[in-house]
A = this chain, B = another copy of it.
Amino acid sequence: MRDTPYLVVDEGVAEGNLAAMAAHARALGVALRPHAKTHKTVELAHRQLAHGAVGLTVATVGEAEVFADAGVVDLFVAYPLWAVGPRAERLRALASRVRLRVGADSVDGVRMLARAVHAGLDGAAQLAIAVEVDSGHHRSGVPPENAADVAVAALDAGLIVDGVFTFPGHSYGADAAVPAAGDEAAALGQARDALTAAGIPCPVVSGGSTPSAGAADGGVLTELRPGVYVFGDAQQWELGTMPPHSIALTAHATVVSRRDGVAVLDAGSKVLGADRAAYATGYGRLLDHPEARITALSEHHATVTFSTDAATPALGEVLRVVPNHVCNAVNLVDELSVEREGLEVGAWAVAARGRNS
Contacts and interface: CB of A to CB of B under 8 A. Distances in A.
Interface in A195-237: none
Q: Which of A1, A3, A276 gathers most chain B CB within 10 Å? A: A3
A46 interface: no
Q: Which 4 A-B pairs have the closest CB atoms?
A: A140-B257, A3-B357, A274-B274, A274-B275
30 contacts: A1-B86, A2-B85, A3-B85, A3-B87, A3-B90, A3-B357, A4-B357, A5-B357, A60-B300, A79-B266, A79-B301, A80-B257, A82-B254, A82-B315, A84-B316, A105-B257, A108-B316, A109-B256, A109-B315, A139-B301, A140-B257, A141-B257, A269-B274, A270-B327, A274-B276, A299-B327, A331-B332, A332-B332, A332-B356, A333-B354
A127 interface: no
A39 interface: no
Contacts of A84: 316
A140 B262 CA distance: 10
A301 B108 contact: no
A106 B139 contact: no
A48 interface: no
Given A3-B61, A303-B139, A356 B270 contact: yes
Contacts of A267: 356
A212 B269 CA distance: 22
Interface in A1-53: 1-6, 37
A227 to B, nearest CB: 10
A311 interface: no
Nearest to A314: B108
Interface in A56-72: 59-61
Nearest to A5: B356
A176 to B, nearest CB: 15
Interface string A74-91: 000001111011110010
Contact of A300 (B87, B257, B356): B356
A296 interface: yes
Q: Which of A80, A86, A270, A276 gathers most chain B CB within 10 Å? A: A270
A151 interface: no
B331 A139 contact: no
A92 interface: no
A57 B81 CA distance: 41
Interface string A123-142: 00000000000000011110
Contacts of A315: 82, 106, 108-109
A266 B298 CA distance: 26
A265 B327 CA distance: 19
A311 to B, nearest CB: 19
A84 B11 CA distance: 26
B328 A256 contact: no
